[in-house]
Amino acid sequence: MQQVEIRVRGQIDRDWSDWFGGLAIAHTMQGETVLAGSIRDQAELRGMLFRLTDLGLDLVSLDTSPRIAGYSRRIQEEVMDGKKKE
């Protein structure tokens, strides 16, 4: 498994998490959406990028470096905490 953080311009509803392989979805103050979590392999990553393209969203950044592992976990925890409150 590999950690990934994908940033796109625009907003994706958090309910779409399953469609993106269970990645956590968070929004920034700059109007971007951050998808973060674990992926199996490069094929799964390419599939997610194709889905984003199909939605007409512009890719801002893609990070698969080891330094994002902690950040990805924090985003996932924040999303899970938000779901518990709803």
Structural domains in the chain?
A: 2-75 (3.30.70.2380)
pLDDT tens-digit series, residues 10-53: 999 989 999 999 998 999 888 999 999 989 999 999 999 999 99
Distance from C-alpha of 55 to C-alpha of 73, rounded to nearest angstrom: 25
- Contact assessment for residue 8 and residue 59, using Cβ atoms and an 8 Å cutoff: yes
Nearest by Cα to 6 from 64, 56, 51: 64
Per-residue pLDDT at 73: 58
Q: What is the DSSP-derived secondary structure letter of residue 2?
A: E
Hey, what amino acid is at 11?
Q
- Work out the pLDDT band at 76, boundaries 50, 70, 90: low
